[in-house]
Chain A
Amino acid sequence: METINKQQKRRSRIFSAEARVAYICLIPAFLGLIFLTYLPLVGVLGISLTNWTGLKSPVFIGFDNYIKIFTTDPYIKDSIISTIYYAALSVAGSMIYSLFIALLLNRKIPARGFFRAVFYVPYVLPAAAIYVGWSWLYEGNFGFFNYVLSELGLKKILFIADSSFVVPSLSMISVWLAGNLIVIFLAGLQNVPAVYHEAAEVDGAGGWKRFRHITLPCMTPIIFYNLLMSLIANLQVVTPALALTNGGPGNSSRFLTYLMYDQAFVNYKLGYACATTLIIFAILAVFTTLLFRTSGRWIYNEGGDDK
Chain B
Amino acid sequence: MKTGKKLGAGLILAALVMSAAGCGDNETNTASPGSEPAKTPGTSSEKVKIVYSMWGSAAEGNTTQAVADRFNASQDKIEVEVQAIPWENYMTKLNTLATAGQLPDTGMLKEDGVIQWSSEGMLNDVSAMYEGSDSKPLDSLAYKYKGKTVAYAAANEILLLYYNKDMFDKAKVPYPPAALDQAWTWDQFVETAKKLTNDKNGKHPGEDGFDSQSIVQYGASVENLPWQLETWALSNGGGFYSEDGTEVKVGDDASVEAIQRVADLYLKDHVAPLSVGQTDDGIQRTIIAGTVAMATNGQWNVGTSLNTAKEEGLKYGVAVLPYMKDKVTISTGGANVVFSQTKHPKEAMEWLKWYNSEENNWDLISSGIWMPTLDKWYKDETLTRKWVENPNFPPYDEYKSAVVDYAQSSAAKPAAWFYTNYTTDFNTLLGSILGDVWTGKTTAKDAISKNLDALKAAHTGNQ
A residues touching B (Cβ–Cβ < 8 Å)? 16, 19, 23, 27, 30-31, 34-35, 38-39, 53-57, 72-75, 135, 140-142, 150, 155-156, 158, 160-163, 244-252, 254, 262, 265-268
Contact = CB atoms under 8 A, between A and B. Distances in A.
A262 B463 CA distance: 13
Contacts of A27: 11
A254 B122 CA distance: 32
Contacts of A162: 439
Nearest to A164: B441
A56 B101 CA distance: 10
Given A30-B11, A156-B213, A265 B291 contact: no
A262 B432 CA distance: 13
- For A34, A39, A262, the residue with the greatest tally of chain B CB atoms inside 10 Å of its CB is A34
B278 A248 contact: yes
B117 A55 contact: yes
A141 B3 contact: no
A93 B74 CA distance: 67
Interface in B299-336: none
Contacts, number: 113
Interface residues of B, number: 49
Contact of A250 (B15, B19, B92, B433): B433
B113 to A, nearest CB: 8
16 contacts: A35-B15, A56-B99, A72-B463, A141-B218, A158-B439, A161-B276, A161-B278, A163-B441, A247-B432, A248-B276, A248-B278, A248-B432, A249-B435, A249-B439, A250-B433, A252-B435
Contact of A248 (B8, B215, B274, B277): B277
B67 interface: no
Interface string B431-463: 111111011010000000001001001100011
Looking at A27, A55, A244, A247, the one whose CB has the most chain B CB atoms below 10 A away is A55
B267 interface: no
Nearest to B3: A19
B7 interface: yes
Interface string B273-293: 111111100000000000100
A39 B19 contact: yes
Nearest to A78: B432
Contact of A23 (B3, B99, B431, B457): B3
B433 to A, nearest CB: 7
Contact of A74 (B120, B215, B291, B429): B429
B424 interface: yes
A231 B398 CA distance: 57
A250 B117 contact: no
Interface centre among B96, B120, B291, B428 (most CB of A within 10 A): B428
Contacts of A163: 435-436, 439, 441
Nearest to A248: B435
B246 interface: no
Given A162-B439, A262-B428, A54 B92 contact: yes
Nearest to B218: A141
A249 B436 contact: yes
Contacts of B435: 163, 248-252
Nearest to B199: A150
A142 B291 contact: yes
A290 to B, nearest CB: 27
B420 to A, nearest CB: 15
